[in-house]
Amino acid sequence: MSVRSMLVRSTERKTCGVTRWTGILAIAALAVVACGSTSTSTTSSGAAQGNDLFNPSDFNASHISWLSANQNASGSPVMGGTLQIEGSTDLSAAADPQGEYETIGFTLERAYARQLLSYPASTDLTKAESVVPDAAATMPTISSDGLTYSFTLRSGLMWNTAPPRPVTSQDFERGILRNCDPTLAPNGNPGYYVSTIAGFKAFCTAFENQSPSERPAARAATINAGMTSVSGIKTPDSNTIVFTLTQPATDFDNIIALPFASAAPIEYLKYTPLTPGNVLYSDGPYAITTYNVGHEIILTRNAAWTQASDSIRHQYVDTIDVKLDLAGSAAATEVQQDLAAGTADLEWNTNVPPADIHGLESPSRNPQLGVFPAPGTTNPYLVFNVQSPNNGGALGNVKVRQALEYAIDKVAINKIYGGASLNEPLNQVIAAGAEGYVPFNDYPTPNNQGDPGKCKSLLKAAGYPNGVTLKDYYRNSGNHPAVFQEVQADFARCGVTVVGTPIATGYYGSSGIGVTSPNGLKTGNWDVTEPGWVPDWFGPTNGRATLPDILDGALSFPGSDWGGYDDPTVDSLVTQAESSMTLSAAAALWHQADEQVMKDAAFIPFETTLTPLFRSARVHNAIFIPFSEYYDITQVWLSK
């Protein structure tokens, strides 16, 4: 998932137990899950928990204790109470399951949106990243050629409509088709379904090409037509859905487990997505009943949900109250103080401030602290606008980009995020623990601290002896201003001037860079920017969840391939990897794609990171979910 976010300012009014909200779309802040990760610090000591958390051989070992680091599993679950969550930014797509694509969105969706398959809450990492049935009664029946996946829904699935009614297979088909809506597509990731489901590409291309101002009736007509015309999705009855793939995909279960594949009730066809006043429905244990955009989201128990219909989630607390409007620059410190004081229970979009980590680990580790890896994370990194006309189109010149690879002091970036025990320099696309990871470094510098001399000499050889001037769109919250300052200083040492423009983190979504067309990139409004990426899923088949999302122009531009990089060799390797029948063959192809991207110097990786989280003393059963880099809020119960 990415590190992303943006959203609406509004007030809400309740209707029939679900939410209506009114207001004006505006930009907020966060890092982009897949994705998206949080936008603030990562910190903590792997040694403090007895494991090398950067070692990929440890990431998938069931004996690793980090998932239970601050679980507080003692006692029997207590029903009731309000879980208080604090942060400084809103969701990116108005809580729409087909549009939310950052870590906080995935966190909240766990409570109100269900998928055919999902992931269990577990302190065993191998189990935590293994797909299990959710709305489906069992794992799918797969044909011998690997092309057909048949699902049967479990009984008891209900929408919180008035009156409640069953969730159907058609609701799941509708949800997948909605990914191609011209308003939702730039926020989400329809590419996963385009590249796997037979007949979906033609439908999706035509739908995405409709005007974002298209009226709801026209959108509904397109989706309703797709319900019968897309050859790769069939619903022979209300409890059965069958997918036919264009080619075998070892990761299709993971793709179906993404929140983008959540069910969508027919009522959603009445609305233009992301429009103030839209209704939010739930088939999970909680429903959003208050949405004061930019300020607060409140979820209360969904009376239509039953524990018998859900083997993954629980409904322990009465209410989940998310405060969104703490001061951005000071939010992490304020949240940490409130957690320690017990006036808040969990963080929202912040992590433990780096300055607080040592005191929480020494002389003994505070049991309310947990430090967790997200294997394969690259956050933050620098992406080049390869279409920019500035400096005579310098960034379109691979030799210029290769020169700039030598500029960054990655150790200094690590320090911004808490130092070497929490962050490790990264020199490639695919980070430790992800499919296709094989360490290499095409642009080595002394101790990963940059080589301004080599940068200068290569720029001169590329025809830029006096350097260039670059426009940097940098995020204006959390650690990101400090990252910009370090990038600016590092580039200055090799004769490159960087002029910064602060942006809200959500600018990576549908209101900004995320919907930039090739012509938009060619205006040269920006040359470099520093997003981040967390894989949309983990485990041995997650190659598709990183490199294609951020650096495959054929699949992800416009979208999360923000700089417009596209290379036919990379596209071909991605296609081959995605259709490989064995894990070893796929891993080798992902590595080759990684090597080609770095040869082209399409971006500058900075680091892979750990996530430090803190909980209040009254929180029990705090189980970390790698996919959202957060606790599973449907598992938590509170001391009275």
pLDDT of residue 398: 98
Residues facing residue 152 across a β-bridge: 240
Mean pLDDT of the chain: 87
* Degrees to nearest 5, angle at CA 43 with 37 and 46: 110
pLDDT of residue 290: 94
Q: Best-predicted range by mean pLDDT among 62-71, 241-250, 537-546? A: 241-250
pLDDT of residue 312: 98
Nearest to 87 by CA among 637, 477, 483, 504: 477
In the three-class reduction of DSSP (H, G, I as helix; E, B as strand; rest coil), residue 359 is classed as: helix
Between residues 374 and 316, the one the model is more confident about? 316
6 pLDDT band (50/70/90 cuts)?
Answer: very low
Strands 296-301, 286-292: parallel, antiparallel or unpaired by DSSP?
antiparallel
Q: 10 Å Cβ neighbour count for 243?
A: 26
For the chain, state the CA radius of gyration. Answer: 23
pLDDT of residue 277: 74
208 pLDDT band (50/70/90 cuts)?
Answer: very high
Judged on CB neighbours under 10 Å (0-12, 13-18, 19+), 160 is buried
Residue 426 identity (one-letter amino acid): L
* Mean pLDDT for the stretch of residues 281-305: 96
Global model pTM greater than 0.95: no
71 pLDDT band (50/70/90 cuts)?
Answer: confident
19 pLDDT band (50/70/90 cuts)?
Answer: very low
pLDDT of residue 617: 96
* Degrees to nearest 5, angle at CA 535 with 42 and 210: 125
Nearest to 204 by CA among 212, 214, 194, 196: 194
Give the contacts of 166 (CB within 8 A, at least 6 positions apart). 157, 158, 159, 238
pLDDT above 50 (res 586): yes
Q: 10 Å Cβ neighbour count for 630?
A: 26
Cα(453)–Cα(460) distance, integer angstroms: 11
pLDDT of residue 350: 87
* Degrees to nearest 5, angle at CA 81 with 75 and 82: 120
Between residues 253 and 28, the one the model is more confident about? 253
CA torsion through residues 328, 329, 330, 332, sign:
positive
pLDDT of residue 588: 96
519 pLDDT band (50/70/90 cuts)?
Answer: confident
Q: Looking up tokens 């040359």, which residue turns up?
A: 527
* Mean pLDDT for the stretch of residues 8-29: 26
In the three-class reduction of DSSP (H, G, I as helix; E, B as strand; rest coil), residue 465 is classed as: coil
Nearest to 231 by CA among 180, 207, 196, 197: 197
pLDDT above 70 (res 149): yes
Eight-state DSSP code of residue 174? H
482 pLDDT band (50/70/90 cuts)?
Answer: very high
Cα(414)–Cα(425) distance, integer angstroms: 7
Cα(628)–Cα(626) distance, integer angstroms: 6
Give the contacts of 438 (CB within 8 A, at least 6 positions apart). 430, 591, 594
pLDDT above 70 (res 51): no
What percent of the chain shows pLDDT beyond 70? 86
What percent of the chain shows pLDDT beyond 90? 64
pLDDT above 70 (res 25): no
Cα(337)–Cα(68) distance, integer angstroms: 23
Whether the ω angle into residue 568 lies within 30 degrees of 0, i.e. cis, is no
Contact 613, 368 (CB under 8 A): no
479 pLDDT band (50/70/90 cuts)?
Answer: confident
pLDDT above 70 (res 17): no
- Token representation of residue 63: 């004996």
Lowest mean pLDDT among 328-342, 435-449, 480-494: 328-342
548 pLDDT band (50/70/90 cuts)?
Answer: confident
Give the contacts of 57 (CB within 8 A, at least 6 positions apart). none
Between residues 157 and 55, the one the model is more confident about? 157
Between residues 599 and 328, the one the model is more confident about? 599
pLDDT of residue 187: 80
Q: 369 phi and psi, to 5 degrees?
A: -100, 135
374 pLDDT band (50/70/90 cuts)?
Answer: confident
413 pLDDT band (50/70/90 cuts)?
Answer: very high
pLDDT above 90 (res 210): yes
In the three-class reduction of DSSP (H, G, I as helix; E, B as strand; rest coil), residue 269 is classed as: helix
4 pLDDT band (50/70/90 cuts)?
Answer: very low
pLDDT of residue 285: 98
pLDDT of residue 40: 38
Helix (H) or strand (E) holding 414: helix 410-416
pLDDT above 80 (res 75): yes
pLDDT of residue 62: 54
Give the contacts of 55 (CB within 8 A, at least 6 positions apart). 432
pLDDT above 50 (res 421): yes
Query: pLDDT tens digits, residue range 234-279?
Result: 999 999 999 999 999 989 999 999 999 999 999 999 999 998 778 9
Strand ranges inside 293-409, DSSP E = 296-301, 319-323, 346-347, 369-373, 381-384
pLDDT of residue 56: 62
Cα(160)–Cα(252) distance, integer angstroms: 29
517 pLDDT band (50/70/90 cuts)?
Answer: low
pLDDT of residue 63: 55
